[in-house]
């Protein structure tokens, strides 16, 4: 399965994918794109020999134009699964139609709680005691797609986003890689009786 990764920042989730999934069980990362020319994720991809591209919003008249160009670039490389690994832009409906049920995202909260930007800060402000990470399919909403994996961690005394992320990041890495492998094995499907429920038959 050919994987394309979109990332806006440092690319720690991308690095986990490159280290744990890339080149294994028929999974290959064949493209990494970013909306930020200076994103460290691009450097990580180039170090691994993965083709990269930048699709900065200010180079396009509209979001749809940017997403159309990005989708075309990914499709040209045969991408079968698009992974949002810290990609900080919403994707257009047209982009999602190019990869139906083939776009997944990692989110640093236990959805449906605290969607959108600054999820950890939202959770801290709310005073929660359990934080976590979610891997989900991407739909046209904001972090509203069907959930593939989730895991929480109790941090009753956490006071800073850095502290929370230090605990969540390993969970993100593990669950994201697990989801990619499960999808590649054909082990992830919908439940016809429950439209929002995702069934994962692979427990590896």
- Confidence at residue 190, expressed as pLDDT on a 0 to 100 scale: 87
| Residue pLDDT tens, the chain, 204 long | 999 999 999 999 999 999 999 999 999 999 999 999 999 999 999 999 999 999 998 999 899 999 999 999 999 999 999 999 999 999 999 999 999 999 999 999 999 999 999 999 999 999 999 999 999 999 999 999 999 999 999 999 999 999 999 999 999 999 999 999 999 999 999 888 888 899 999 755
Last residue of a domain, one of 79, 100, 121: 100
- Confidence at residue 203, expressed as pLDDT on a 0 to 100 scale: 59
> Shortest CA distance to 176 belongs to which of 126, 122, 106, 115?
106
Asked whether residue 73 falls in the same domain as residue 123, the answer is no
Asked whether residue 140 falls in the same domain as residue 155, the answer is yes
Asked whether residue 80 falls in the same domain as residue 115, the answer is no
- Confidence at residue 199, expressed as pLDDT on a 0 to 100 scale: 92
Asked whether residue 6 falls in the same domain as residue 90, the answer is yes
Asked whether residue 47 falls in the same domain as residue 120, the answer is no
Asked whether residue 86 falls in the same domain as residue 112, the answer is no
Last residue of a domain, one of 77, 100, 123: 100
**Which CATH number fits the domain that encloses residue 52?**
3.40.50.170
Predicted TM-score (pTM) of this structure: 0.94
Domain count, the chain: 2
Last residue of a domain, one of 59, 79, 100: 100
Asked whether residue 193 falls in the same domain as residue 116, the answer is yes
Instruction: Examine the residue annotation and report whether 173 is marked as an active-site residue of this protein.
Output: no
Asked whether residue 70 falls in the same domain as residue 142, the answer is no
Asked whether residue 94 falls in the same domain as residue 57, the answer is yes
Asked whether residue 93 falls in the same domain as residue 109, the answer is no
Structural domain for 29, as ranges: 1-100
Asked whether residue 96 falls in the same domain as residue 36, the answer is yes
**Active-site residue, from 22, 107, 136, 173:** 107
């Amino acid at each position: 399965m050919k994987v394309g990764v979109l990332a806006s920042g440092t690319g720690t989730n991308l690095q986990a994918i490159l280290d744990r999934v890339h080149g294994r069980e028929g999974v290959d990362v064949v493209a990494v794109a970013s909306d930020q020319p200076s994103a460290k994720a691009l450097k990580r991809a180039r170090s691994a020999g993965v083709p990269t591209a930048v699709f900065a919003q200010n180079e396009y008249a509209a979001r749809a134009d940017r997403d159309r160009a990005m989708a075309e670039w990914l499709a040209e490389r045969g991408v079968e699964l698009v992974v949002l690994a810290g990609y900080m832009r919403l994707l257009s409906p047209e982009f999602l139609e190019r990869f139906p049920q083939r776009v997944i995202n990692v989110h640093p909260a236990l959805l449906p709680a605290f969607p959108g930007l600054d999820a950890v800060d939202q959770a801290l402000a709310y005073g929660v005691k359990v934080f976590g990470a979610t891997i989900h399919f991407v739909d046209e909403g904001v972090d509203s797609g069907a959930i593939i994996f989730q895991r929480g961690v109790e941090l009753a005394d956490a006071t800073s986003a850095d502290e929370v992320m230090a605990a969540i990041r390993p969970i993100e890495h593990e669950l994201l890689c697990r989801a990619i492998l499960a999808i590649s094995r054909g082990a992830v499907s919908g439940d016809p009786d429950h439209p929002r429920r995702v069934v994962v038959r692979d427990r590896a």
